[in-house]
Amino acid sequence: MAMASRASRSTKLPPEVNRMLYIKNLPYKITTDEMYDIFGKFGAVRQIRVGNTPDTRGTAFVVYEDIFDAKAACEHLSGFNVSNRYLVVLYYQATKAWKRMDTEKAREKLENIKEKYGIGGDIEKEKEKMGLITPRRNN
């Protein structure tokens, strides 16, 4: 058993694997102690953060001490039933989290700033006015 454990730790991990897991579809009333009971079975847990605002309820972050413990938890707990809810366990990826920013709100904010400062919307027309490009001719 010890040999199998060492062999699995020497294999190369995929790039998305890390020590931080993002958990979705949690019961709203789950406690941190219950989370430690569930996720602590796979290794030493450094930190658990359970969402408590209306936007983050039902989600949590679990940080393990060891990346292999996080990998085992992700493999075994994805689809695990807790209070008639099936957990979705993913590796946290900061780059994807930033990309998920609400683009509609950002676009609306940009339009408000454009309107406030009187900036036009069509970049090509603005460049033509400034003489940076020649106007296109339709054939």
Domain residue ranges in the chain: 2-99, 101-133
Does the pTM surpass 0.75? The reply is no
Q: DSSP readout, 59-90?
A: -EEEEESSHHHHHHHHHHHTT-EETTEE-EEE
pLDDT, residue 4, reads 47
pLDDT, residue 114, reads 79
In CATH, 2-99 is 3.30.70.330:
yes
Which segments of the chain have a pLDDT < 50?
A: 1-4, 6-7
pLDDT, residue 125, reads 66
